[in-house]
């Protein structure tokens, strides 16, 4: 038995030395598992403070007494706009003008023609009067009845002739006057004037129509898209830059504007709105002090339930059901489900 094993061992040794037998491969070592190089989540912290639900909307000043003016001529080029939105004006003040140099030149020419025509008519009348006076003197010196009758007939004929001549000149004068009046009207229509004392509350983009209002008695119209959020009777604050005013919300019917679908604000001090056009109206719907809150962007809904995402004890993302309260200003009040200082996933 030993004699059989020995030759076999020698043969295997020889084959290994020649590299003819397969070698056993060594396994590569897996890298050491280290902590994540970077946390892939963005967190926010549950905080304590105030949450305010405030409603705001634009409110345009509208006057109880408003008058509009516009250019009837829509072909002439704009010359100059002399007022700006919110400017105080007096009745008759020029608001805007159109280019009308041609009409001005026509008026000067017609004024000259009118003056000459009037002079010609006056001269004709004076000459005719003198001629008639001369004929009357001659008539008074005649003794013959026949001559007097002839002279009177001549005088009567002369009067008719003079009247016809004067009438023709009068017609020409009236035609010139009518022409002058038409050009004068067109020229005046190239100038828009304030129809009343008040404030310029509207200027068309093409400067061809203007609105002047008496803002001593005014309302503020809330944007129609926001009107449903302003119930009648609500007290609101009105803001414009550093100015703060107050007022009460009215329905369109209460404001005397039944044709409108908007809501209106009756200001406590209407005089404070003279010279202004747009304000921001706001009021606080609800407010909570010393309460837990989160940015509203961290809130989620799962299965119809309000929740947030947190990292669970197993290191995986899990949902946490919460009860919410007031929502406003980009924040949500948390009534239950979280504790102050707890980390909530904002983005992942």
DSSP codes of every residue in 264-309: EEEES-GGGGTT--EEEEEEEEEEEEEEEEEEGGG-EEETTEEEEE
Would you write out the chain's pLDDT as a tens digit for each of its 348 residues? 444 545 555 555 555 555 554 544 444 443 433 444 456 789 999 999 999 999 999 999 888 788 999 999 888 999 999 999 888 899 999 999 999 999 999 999 999 999 999 999 999 999 999 999 999 999 999 989 999 999 999 999 999 999 999 999 999 999 999 999 999 999 999 999 999 998 888 899 999 999 998 877 889 999 889 999 999 999 999 999 889 999 999 999 998 888 888 899 999 998 888 766 789 999 999 999 999 999 999 999 988 999 999 988 888 889 999 999 999 989 999 999 999 999 999 876
Q: Which residue has the tokens 């939105």?
A: 85
Q: Supply the pLDDT for residue 286.
A: 93
User: pTM here?
Assistant: 0.51
Q: Supply the pLDDT for residue 39.
A: 64
Q: Supply the pLDDT for residue 270.
A: 86
Q: C-alpha angle 153/154/155, rounded to 5°? A: 90
Q: Supply the pLDDT for residue 238.
A: 96
Q: Which residue has the tokens 């397969």?
A: 22
In 137-197, the DSSP E strands lie at 191-193
* Tokens coding 123: 């001269």
Q: Supply the pLDDT for residue 81.
A: 95
Q: Supply the pLDDT for residue 84.
A: 92
Beta-bridged to residue 347, according to DSSP, are 42
């Amino acid at each position: 038995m030993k004699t059989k094993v020995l030759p076999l061992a020698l043969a295997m040794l020889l084959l290994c030395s020649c590299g003819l037998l397969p070698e056993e491969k060594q396994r590569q070592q897996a890298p050491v598992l280290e902590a994540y190089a970077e946390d892939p989540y963005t967190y926010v912290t549950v905080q304590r403070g105030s949450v305010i639900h405030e409603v705001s909307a634009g409110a345009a000043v509208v006057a109880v007494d408003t008058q509009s003016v516009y250019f009837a001529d829509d072909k002439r080029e704009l010359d100059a706009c002399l007022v700006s939105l919110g400017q105080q004006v007096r009745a008759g003040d020029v608001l805007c003008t159109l280019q009308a140099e041609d009409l001005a030149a026509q008026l000067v020419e017609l004024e000259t023609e009118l003056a000459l025509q009037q002079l010609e008519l006056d001269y004709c009348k004076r000459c005719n009067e003198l001629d008639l006076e001369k004929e009357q003197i001659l008539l008074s010196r005649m003794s013959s009845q026949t001559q007097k009758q002839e002279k009177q007939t001549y005088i009567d004929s002369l009067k008719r002739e003079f009247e016809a001549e004067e009438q023709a000149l009068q017609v020409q004068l009236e035609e010139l006057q009518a022409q002058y009046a038409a050009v004068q009207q067109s020229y005046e229509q190239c100038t828009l004037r304030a129809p009343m004392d008040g404030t310029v509350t509207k200027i068309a983009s093409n400067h061809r129509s203007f609105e002047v209002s008496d803002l001593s008695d005014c309302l503020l119209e809330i944007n129609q898209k926001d009107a449903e959020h302003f119930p009648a009777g609500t007290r609101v604050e009105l803001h414009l830059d550093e100015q703060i005013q107050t007022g009460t919300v009215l329905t369109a019917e209460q404001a005397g504007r039944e044709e409108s679908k908007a809501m209106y604000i009756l200001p406590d001090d209407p005089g404070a709105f003279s010279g202004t056009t747009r304000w921001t109206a706001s009021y606080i719907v609800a407010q909570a002090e010393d309460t837990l809150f989160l940015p509203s962007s961290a809130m989620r809904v799962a299965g119809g339930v309000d929740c947030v995402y947190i990292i669970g004890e197993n290191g995986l993302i899990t949902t946490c059901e919460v009860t919410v309260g007031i929502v406003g200003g980009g924040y949500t009040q948390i009534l239950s489900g979280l504790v102050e200082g707890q980390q909530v996933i904002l983005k992942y």
